[in-house]
Amino acid sequence: MQMQIHTLDKARLINEVQLGDHLNHAVEGGRRADFALMLAMLSPDHLETIPVDALPKPGKTEAELRAYFELQEPQPLTTTEQCYENGAAQAEVFHDSGLADVRLLHGLQPTALTFPPQGTKGMPEDLYHNLSGHERRMLPPKEDATIQASPQDLYLSLVHAKRFAEMYQTA
């Protein structure tokens, strides 16, 4: 009996994938004892059962790749002074030449994805104008800086946040 327990300990079952079809066959066949035994053999340690994605190998940064392939800067997320000039140029090209030329110009000189209102302390325009003068004076004098985010790093950031949340839940 001691020999069988020792071999079961060395089996190192961590998740149900390692059991293959045996777990499914036990459910289909109505073998409750086998099913319960297989579940009892699985590791109860959550740190073993949580899939951990390997971090990507450090490679070239986005700026280095853009320089290597001689690509332009990515499309800005929020407005800059250049975006207003590019938008005006695109409107003029649209009226003069048509949609195909606007697409070409947008590919060469992209405008921002969003044009948030300016002078509203970072709030939506209708909300800011709905405030009374007293409430507007109580707002901080400086506007918040825009968030510098990269869509390419979004997935990795979400995975990191999820893993840290799971670690804090188990602790």
Q: What is the pLDDT of residues 58-89, one digit of tens each?
A: 888 888 999 999 988 888 888 888 888 888 99
Task: For the chain, give the mean pLDDT.
Answer: 78
Q: What is the pLDDT of residue 96?
A: 93
* pLDDT-flagged residues of the chain (< 70): 1-18, 43-53, 142-149, 151-152, 171
Q: What is the pLDDT of residue 3?
A: 43
How large is the angle between the packed helices 99-108 and 81-96, nearest 10 degrees? 160
State the residue for tokens 């590019």: 86
Q: What is the pLDDT of residue 81?
A: 80
Distance of CA 154 to the CA centre of its chain: 3
How many angstroms separate the first and last alpha carbons of the chain? 36
Q: Which residues contact 66 (CB under 8 A, 6 or more apart)?
A: 72, 73, 74
The single-letter DSSP state of residue 10 is T
